[in-house]
Amino acid sequence: MSNVPEGNALDELRAAYHEQLTRLAAERDAARRQARRAQAQADVARADLASLRSSVQRLLNAAARHLPDLPPVEAPAGGTDGATPELPAGRRALPAAADAAGGKARPARAA
């Protein structure tokens, strides 16, 4: 038989159980806070992406007005679903940039 009275052992078990429950509740609360922060950051990132897409759309349309061989670019159907639309094979968004990257000289256009 043990030298520890039963009441004392039971109190120790209760205290350990309560301490574990308290620790688990704190971890759960911290995980929930982290999930809320991550969701808020994802919302901000989606809004930033939509704004960036809109800016790129405006820039491409402005470039198309000044470069007759550049057709206007339409906004992707479906809005901001997270997918980046690919250009069809052979189509270049900005011919001057593509030529410069390829090392070809392109004459400047008169304004």
DSSP secondary structure code for residue 103 in this structure: T
Grouped pLDDT means (10 residues each) for the chain, 111 residues: 69 96 98 98 97 95 82 60 48 47 48 43
CB 60 within 8 A of CB 93: yes
In this structure, what token pair is assigned to residue 21? Answer: 């429950």
Of the candidates 68, 77, 72, 70, the residue with the CA atom closest to the CA atom of residue 94: 70
Looking at residue 29, its pLDDT comes to 98
Instruction: Tally Cβ neighbours within 10 Å of residue 95.
Output: 13
CB 46 within 8 A of CB 80: yes
| Amino acid found at 100 | A
Looking at residue 78, its pLDDT comes to 55
Model confidence, pTM: 0.49
